[in-house]
Amino acid sequence: MLASLAFATMLVMAPVAHAADGAPAAAAAPVETLHPALFLVGDSITKTGTPPGDRGPWGMGYEIIPLFDPAKIHVYNEGAGGRSSRSYIEEGLWAKILARAEPGDFILVMFGHNDEANSMNYPDRATIMSSGNETIQTGFGNARKVIHSYGWYLQQYVKDAKGKGATVILCSPVPRNQWIGDKIKRGFDGYAAWAAEAAKASGALFIDLNTRSADRFDAFGKDKTRPYFNDQQHTTKAGAKVNAGSVVEGLRQLKDCPLAADLLPTVP
DSSP-derived secondary structure letter, 228 = G
Strand-pair category, 145-148 with 135-138: antiparallel
For residue 41, list its beta bridge partners: 109
Task: Return the CATH architecture of domain 2-11+34-258.
Answer: 3-Layer(aba) Sandwich (3.40)
As a whole number, mean pLDDT of residues 16-35 equals 53
Using one digit for the tens of pLDDT, what is the confidence trace for 144-182?
888 999 999 999 999 999 999 999 999 999 999 999 999
Residue 220: in which H helix or E strand, if any? helix 209-220
Q: Structural domain boundaries of the chain?
A: 2-11+34-258
Distance (Å, rounded) from C-alpha 86 to C-alpha 69? 32
Confirm if 184 and 149 have CB atoms less than 8 A apart. no
Reply yes or no on whether the pLDDT at 202 is more than 50.
yes
What's the pLDDT tens digit per position in 73-124?
999 999 999 999 999 999 999 999 999 999 999 999 999 999 986 566 777 8
pLDDT class for 53, splitting at 50, 70, 90? low
Per-residue model confidence (pLDDT) at position 52 = 61
DSSP letters of 127-188?
-BSSSS--EEEES-GGG-EEEEBHHHHHHHHHHHHHHTT-EEEEEPPPPPS-EETTEE--SG
Inform me whether the pLDDT recorded for 17 exceeds 70.
no
Kindly state the percentage of the chain with pLDDT values over 70: 84
CB atoms within 10 A of CB 159: 13
Total-model pTM = 0.86
Which residues share a beta bridge with 108? 40, 169
